[in-house]
């Protein structure tokens, strides 16, 4: 009942339309094979995904568009009228039937491909592996974090049409950056166009979930012969709601919805805070400013890029101003090593192992291969320096090599210029890489009365032990069930 032949005749009047038709059929045919293959045989793989759900459907759609365009071009150029001819040759009803059926088939194919492609593009595999070199650092450390089950898009895109469109536009710009190879290495943080964190983190974390006290036991190993272990133990005041006035106190006081903290900084990294403004639930304002004399932009080499006015550098404080590393946790080298010694992956009874390991992993290597070779020198270097101890530990040293190599390739990406401490956490005391909490709590930012933002140890935590080898309090903690 369908008159295919007249349709083919009409099609054959235009080379472009023929090309379009060939494109549609091959793309759909090949895609069908690939999808069946993917569902039955292969593991989900980002490259197959891109071809099956983005590239082939794109080709098919282009082909489909070329068919009418080709026919129309012939019509305009040669006064031939393939569409009219088609309609005249076949009864009008049949032409419409044919078009209807073909359109329906196309709709089904595209709906399926579209659904799968959106689904696929939102998967962590796509985000983490598609732009392999660009995102692999974030993907690698993300997989080790507490949020490895949370899809990239839940934090970076989020629900709602507005943010979706915005992020797709940003995404397109970023993709162009990757193709044209002009993105920044490393990727700059903080991310200036992230959604307000209450919409991101608030989806899963309620105020109750981060209140109370948190005892933290921090183990360190000294770079000496015995790798001497010390403990620092603090009790962090995460937050509590007081019974009298129902206001939140403690560290998560900043995140309470009752008030708003705005801060202004001189640089895009938001390190040089010059003004902090607190608006409480009654609309009362309290302002802290940095006395001019104590800080000028040129102080420490970070220059304002000159493009940001005060307004753009203003920021409403939210979770990410402390939790800037909730999932992309790039540990500093000392902490990364101490963790391995603490859990026994590296045996802390090997003399000098902490110091030598640190030396090897913190050298600057040009490439990943060079780093692997450099770290593989551990046994040889140990032999050279500590010949007396060598015999006892030769086997263990061989086993430590892959551990340190793995550590290095988890955190260091020479091709993205990511070295140790490129992405420091903003939680804690000042280091050479960030002033963290003390961007504001340094006692230099003062209000009209000259009172600084608190830097009293006890408002943030009780210090139960500081760099002690055998703290009494640890025994008490361990005795607890």
DSSP states of 16-54: HHHHHHHHHHHHHHHHHHHHHHHHHTSPP-HHHHHIIII
Given a contact cutoff of 8 angstroms between Cβ atoms, the answer to whether 424 and 439 are in contact is no
Judged by beta carbon, residue 245 or residue 456, the one nearer ligand HEC is: 456
Q: Does 142 bind ligand HEC (CB under 6 A)?
A: yes
Kindly state the smallest distance separating residue 236's Cβ from ligand HEC, in Å.
Answer: 5
Segment interacting with ligand HEC (CB under 6 A) among 7-15, 135-143, 304-312, 353-361: 135-143
Judged by beta carbon, residue 52 or residue 319, the one nearer ligand HEC is: 319
**Options 156, 259, 295, 383; binder of ligand HEC; rule CB under 6 A:** 156
DSSP state of 225: T
**213 DSSP β-pair partners:** 237
Judged by beta carbon, residue 54 or residue 238, the one nearer ligand HEC is: 238
**Options 427, 444, 446, 474; binder of ligand HEC; rule CB under 6 A:** 427
Selection from 92, 115, 82, 96 nearest residue 12 by Cα: 82
**418 DSSP β-pair partners:** 413
Judged by beta carbon, residue 385 or residue 458, the one nearer ligand HEC is: 458
**229 DSSP β-pair partners:** 221
List binders of ligand HEC among 354-383 (CB under 6 A). Answer: none
Extended strands (E) in 293-442:
314-316
Segment interacting with ligand HEC (CB under 6 A) among 45-53, 165-173, 362-370, 423-431: 423-431
Per-residue interface string for the shown chain with ligand HEC, residues 449-468, x marking contact by CB under 6 A: ----xxxxx-xxx-x--x--
Segment interacting with ligand HEC (CB under 6 A) among 82-90, 296-304, 405-413, 427-435: 427-435
Judged by beta carbon, residue 16 or residue 153, the one nearer ligand HEC is: 153
Kindly state the smallest distance separating residue 335's Cβ from ligand HEC, in Å.
Answer: 8
- State the first-to-last Cα distance of the chain, in angstroms, to the nearest integer: 80
Residue pointed to by tokens 């069946």: 36
**Options 9, 154, 334, 468; binder of ligand HEC; rule CB under 6 A:** 154
Kindly state the smallest distance separating residue 367's Cβ from ligand HEC, in Å.
Answer: 21
Q: Does 321 bind ligand HEC (CB under 6 A)?
A: yes
Kindly state the smallest distance separating residue 96's Cβ from ligand HEC, in Å.
Answer: 47
Given a contact cutoff of 8 angstroms between Cβ atoms, the answer to whether 391 and 417 are in contact is no
Residue pointed to by tokens 């490439």: 367
**Options 221, 253, 358, 420; binder of ligand HEC; rule CB under 6 A:** 253
Backbone region of residue 467 per phi and psi (left: phi > 0; alpha: psi in -120 to 50; beta: other values)? left
List binders of ligand HEC among 164-193 (CB under 6 A). Answer: 187, 189-191
**221 DSSP β-pair partners:** 229
Selection from 210, 296, 200 nearest residue 253 by Cα: 210
Distance in angstroms (rounded) separating the CA atoms of residues 255 and 246: 15
Kindly state the smallest distance separating residue 461's Cβ from ligand HEC, in Å.
Answer: 6
Question: What is the signed CA dihedral for 422, 427, 433, 439, rounded to 10 degrees?
Answer: 130
DSSP states of 253-296: GGG-TT-EEEEEESSTTS-SEEEEEEE-TTS-EEEEE--GGG--
List binders of ligand HEC among 230-249 (CB under 6 A). Answer: 232, 234, 236-238, 249
In 412-437, where does DSSP find H-type helix?
A: none
Residues in the chain: 481
Per-residue interface string for the shown chain with ligand HEC, residues 38-77, x marking contact by CB under 6 A: ----------------------------------------
Question: What is the signed CA dihedral for 418, 422, 426, 432, rounded to 10 degrees?
Answer: 160
Q: Does 419 bind ligand HEC (CB under 6 A)?
A: no
Judged by beta carbon, residue 80 or residue 205, the one nearer ligand HEC is: 205
Segment interacting with ligand HEC (CB under 6 A) among 84-92, 101-109, 195-203, 369-377: 195-203
Distance in angstroms (rounded) separating the CA atoms of residues 229 and 312: 46
- Give CA 429 to chain center in angstroms: 23
List binders of ligand HEC among 98-127 (CB under 6 A). Answer: 124, 127
Judged by beta carbon, residue 9 or residue 304, the one nearer ligand HEC is: 304
Kindly state the smallest distance separating residue 114's Cβ from ligand HEC, in Å.
Answer: 22
């Amino acid at each position: 009942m369908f008159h295919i032949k007249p349709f083919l005749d009409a099609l054959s009047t235009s080379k472009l339309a023929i090309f379009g038709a060939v494109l549609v059929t091959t793309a759909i045919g090949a895609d069908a094979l690939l999808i069946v293959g993917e569902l039955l045989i292969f593991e989900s793989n980002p490259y197959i995904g891109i071809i099956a759900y983005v590239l082939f459907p794109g080709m098919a759609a282009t082909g489909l568009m070329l068919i009418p365009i080709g026919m129309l071009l012939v019509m305009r150029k040669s006064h031939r009228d393939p569409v009219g001819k088609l309609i005249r040759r076949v009864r009008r009803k049949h032409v419409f039937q044919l078009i209807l059926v073909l359109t329906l088939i196309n709709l089904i194919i595209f709906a399926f491909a579209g659904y799968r492609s959106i689904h696929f593009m939102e998967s962590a595999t796509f985000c983490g592996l598609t732009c392999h070199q660009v995102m692999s650092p974030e993907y690698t450390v993300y997989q080790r974090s507490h949020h490895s089950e949370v899809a990239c898009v839940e934090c970076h895109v989020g629900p709602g049409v507005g943010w979706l469109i915005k992020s797709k536009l940003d995404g397109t710009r970023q993709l162009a950056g990757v193709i044209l190879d002009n993105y920044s290495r490393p990727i700059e943080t903080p991310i200036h166009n992230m959604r307000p964190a209450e919409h991101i983190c608030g989806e899963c974390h309620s105020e109750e979930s981060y209140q109370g006290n948190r005892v933290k036991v921090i183990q360190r190993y000294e770079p000496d012969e015995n790798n001497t272990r010390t403990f620092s133990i603090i009790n962090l005041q995460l937050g509590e709601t007081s019974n009298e006035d129902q206001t939140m106190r403690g560290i998560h006081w900043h995140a309470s919805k009752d008030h708003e903290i705005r801060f202004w900084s001189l640089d895009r990294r938001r390190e040089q805070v010059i003004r902090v403004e607190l608006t409480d639930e009654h609309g009362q304002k309290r302002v802290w400013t940095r006395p001019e004399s104590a800080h000028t932009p040129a102080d420490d080499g970070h220059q304002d890029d000159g493009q940001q006015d005060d307004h753009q550098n203003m920021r409403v404080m939210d979770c990410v101003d402390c939790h800037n590393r909730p999932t992309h946790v790039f540990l500093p080298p000392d902490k990364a090593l101490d963790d391995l010694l603490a859990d026994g992956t590296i045996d802390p009874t090997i003399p000098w192992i902490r110091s030598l390991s640190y030396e090897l992993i913190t050298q600057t290597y040009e490439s990943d291969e060079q780093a692997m070779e450099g770290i593989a020198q551990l046994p040889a270097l140990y032999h050279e320096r500590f010949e007396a101890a060598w015999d006892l530990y030769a086997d263990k040293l061989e086993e430590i090599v892959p551990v340190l190599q793995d550590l290095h390739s988890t955190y260091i990406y020479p091709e993205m210029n990511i070295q140790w401490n490129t992405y420091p956490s903003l939680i804690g005391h000042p280091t050479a890489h960030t002033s963290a909490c003390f961007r504001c709590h340094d006692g230099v930012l003062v209000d009209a009365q000259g009172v600084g933002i608190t830097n009293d140890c006890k408002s943030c935590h009780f210090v139960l032990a500081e760099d002690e080898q055998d703290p009494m309090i640890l025994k008490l903690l361990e005795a607890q069930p």
